[in-house]
Amino acid sequence: MNDKLGLPVGTTLDRFIMRKQEDFPYATGELSQLLRDIALAAKIVNREINRAGLLDVTGAYGQQNVQGEDQQKLDVIANIRFIRALRNGGEVCTIVSEEEDGVIQTGNTKGKYIVAIDPLDGSSNIDVNVSIGTIFSIYRRLSDQGCDGTMEDCLQSGVRQVGAGYVIYGSSTMLVYTTGNGVNGFTYDMTLGEFFLSHPNICTPKTGSIYSINEGSFNSFPDGVKQYVNYCKENNYSARYIGSLVADFHRNLLKGGIYMYPPTAKSPNGKLRLMYECNALAFIVEQAGGKATNGSQRIMELVPTELHQRCPLFIGSTEMVNKVEEYLKAEVEVH
């Protein structure tokens, strides 16, 4: 008899969350349930993405989001699915979404948590079947329970996150998250309808040989970034840029590398959103042993002043982020 036939399928996300909850005697279960709600919505969105070409849900929706970007049909679908799951779960009082102008009150006034979410990152890749993803941040509310969440609840710095994660919809679907005690990744088994622990205790390499940046904008990069890109080429680093933040970040997290979205002439404050993208990935990379800055400041220490605030991002292996910061610092000193 083949010994492999009786091997266990692994630890499910639900069981893993339950075990981790037992590590914290003061935990009351709400955060665990919130993570389950996100996983459920991810399963539904995964189904929609896999059927997209058959159901005519690819392509532009015909409207723009608050950032002036053309919304794709799947952007809208994912936004609806995650908001509905979080509202029905009952643990979240307020949601802020990259696809919505203002805050979304769930009606769960006793909910303890705030969620900031990019329901579907990588919209430009939807129509061409390239990996896309979901990014989320979880905060404890600051206001008293019994009423709607406030803007102060939503505009918290990244150091106040109690959880963050992303889902990548690619050759396999994975959910990666942290609650401040390391990073763990789960792969979705569609035949069983479950996420299984596949990447326990993810630790990103201290350095790597991959750099990810849109070199089409090279001429408008700050001089320090240009010099670092040239340094990468001189050292025979590999350029890898998919154009889906989650996909580029996920590869570099596992293999070692740096993702950069610097300020440019077109986007002087950078293009990525602090609340919906940068904070969550910064929390994850730091928990995995990496680093995330805007070029001079730690991402998670930035205090947002508006919901859709943008910022530059340099994130990945610590030694690589340190190196690009050296070039940027030298540029400032010269000027």
- Please enumerate, by residue number, every residue annotated as part of a binding site for Mg(2+): 98, 118, 120-121, 277
| H or E stretch at 105 | strand 104-105
Question: For the packed helices 30-50 and 73-89, what is the interaxial angle rounded to 10 degrees?
Answer: 150
Measured CA distances, 249 to 10, 40, 176, 261, 326 (Å): 26, 23, 11, 12, 22
Distance CA 55, CA 183 (A): 35
Binding-site entries: 98, 118, 120-124, 214, 241, 271, 277
Helices and strands (H and E) in the chain: how many: 9, 15
User: With contact defined as beta carbons under 8 Å apart, do 312 and 261 qualify?
Assistant: yes
Binding-site entries for substrate: 121-124, 214, 241, 271
User: With contact defined as beta carbons under 8 Å apart, do 173 and 188 qualify?
Assistant: yes
